[in-house]
C-alpha cells in the first residue's frame, strides 16, 4: 500500500538550500526536520542537566559565602588600621613642639 503524500512549497535561504542539497535530498531533509520538530525533547537529559546545574549553583553559593566572610574580615582589618593611624596622627599633633634655638641672624 502506498502512503499518501502532501506536496508543500517552502521558501528557504539559498545558503541553507545549497548545504542541504550537498548532504541530503531536499525531501529527506524536510521530512527529518519536521519529525525533529514533532518529537518531544528527552526529559532524562534535562533532569540530569538540571541536577548538575543545581549542584553547581550550591557550590557557587558556598564560594560566595566564603568570599563574603573574607571581605568582612578585610573590612574590619582596614577599619582597625585606619583607627590606629588616626590615633598615631593625633598623638603627633598633641606632642609639644620642640623650641629650636633661633640662629643669631634672625631677630624676629
- pTM to 2 decimal places: 0.44
**Would the pLDDT of 15 be above 80?**
yes
**Would the pLDDT of 8 be above 90?**
no
Give the CA distances from residue 92 to residues 81, 86, 89, 95, in Å, rounded to whole numbers and listed in that order.
17, 10, 5, 5
* Cβ atoms < 10 Å from Cβ of 79: 10
Q: pLDDT at position 96, please?
A: 60
Q: pLDDT at position 24, please?
A: 82
**Would the pLDDT of 67 be above 90?**
yes
Amino acid at each position: 500500500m502506498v502512503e499518501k503524500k502532501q506536496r508543500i512549497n517552502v521558501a528557504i535561504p539559498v545558503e541553507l538550500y545549497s548545504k542541504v542539497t550537498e548532504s541530503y535530498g531536499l525531501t529527506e531533509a524536510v521530512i527529518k526536520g519536521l519529525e525533529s520538530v514533532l518529537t518531544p525533547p528527552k526529559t532524562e537529559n534535562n533532569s540530569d542537566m538540571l541536577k548538575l546545574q543545581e549542584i553547581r549553583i550550591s557550590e557557587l553559593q558556598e564560594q560566595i559565602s566564603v568570599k563574603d566572610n573574607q571581605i568582612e574580615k578585610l573590612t574590619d582589618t582596614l577599619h582597625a588600621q585606619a583607627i590606629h593611624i588616626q590615633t598615631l596622627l593625633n598623638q603627633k599633633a598633641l606632642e609639644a613642639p620642640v623650641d629650636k634655638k633661633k640662629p643669631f641672624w634672625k631677630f624676629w
